[in-house]
Every structure is written in C-alpha cells, then in structure tokens.
Amino acid sequence: MQSKKPEKIDFNTEYPCPCRRRGRLVPITLTEAFGCDRCQQIFVVEDNGHVLEQLSTTYPYKRAWRWTGGNWHVVHPKLGESYLPIALGIIFVLVIIWLPLALRLANGSSIIAWAMVAVLLAILPALMVWLTYRR
C-alpha cells in the first residue's frame, strides 16, 4: 500500500505526468525541471524537492502537485491566492447590504430595475469564479 506522505522528487526517477495519465515526465538536462513526453508541459521542482509546479499555465495560480510514491496529489493554493474569497465578498456585499438598501430607497417603478442590476452584479463574480476553476 502506498503512503500518503509526500516524498522528495528524484531527478533520476521516471514519473507519470500529473496532467495526463499516459504521459511520462522526463528530466530536462542541466535544469531542475521535467518535461512531459506527451503534453509538452514543463514542470519545475520547488519546496526543496517536494513540490512539482507547472511552469507555463493559463490558470491565475500555479498548479502544483506532491508525489506520494504512487501518484500525484494536488497542492491547493492558499485561500488568499484564489478568486473565491473575493467573489464571495462581492456577492455578500451586493446581496446582503446593497440590495435591501437599494430596494428601500427606490421608487415603486424602479424596484425591478434595481433588483435586476443587483442580480447581474452578483452573477459577475460567480461567473468569474466558474471561469477560473473550470478545467
């Protein structure tokens, strides 16, 4: 049975690609990096040899993995490095504070317009989070 404890990444060992199941990581000569023979991604070794980080990425945060001896486990970014707290804060302010205030101050005919604006502004952060975390 494989241990769940992260192991140090060895440059003389062949690893499976963390992005694709069929690719293999090949050490890049004279660097502390690996390249996948299938997906052509480049990965660097960080955190004293315990974390494999994807070098070129379109994600707003760097994707990283830890090797546990049999497979890769995703290293999740810190809460402050993601868009989720920002989006939740914006939605909280809009729905809990701004919408009731706008509804109280609005005239009878403009209540629907204020409500639609609040809902649209609440959907924007949710869309931002969805686009960020989709894979």
Q: In this predicted model, what pLDDT tens digit does every residue of 38-75 receive, in sequence order?
A: 888 889 988 788 888 888 666 656 788 898 888 888 88
Q: Return phi, psi of residue 123, to 5°.
A: -75, -30
- The reported pLDDT for the residue numbered 83 is 65
**pLDDT under 70: residue ranges of the chain:** 1-3, 20-21, 56-61, 77-84, 99, 103, 106-109, 132-135
Separation of alpha carbons 131 and 38, rounded Å: 26
Q: At what angle do helices 84-92 and 111-133 cross, to 10 degrees?
A: 170
Give the full edge-to-edge strand order of the sheet including 51-54: 15-16, 24-28, 33-36, 42-46, 51-54, 64-67, 72-75
Global pTM reads 0.55
For 13, the 3-state DSSP assignment is coil
- The reported pLDDT for the residue numbered 68 is 87
Separation of alpha carbons 81 and 67, rounded Å: 22
- The reported pLDDT for the residue numbered 1 is 47
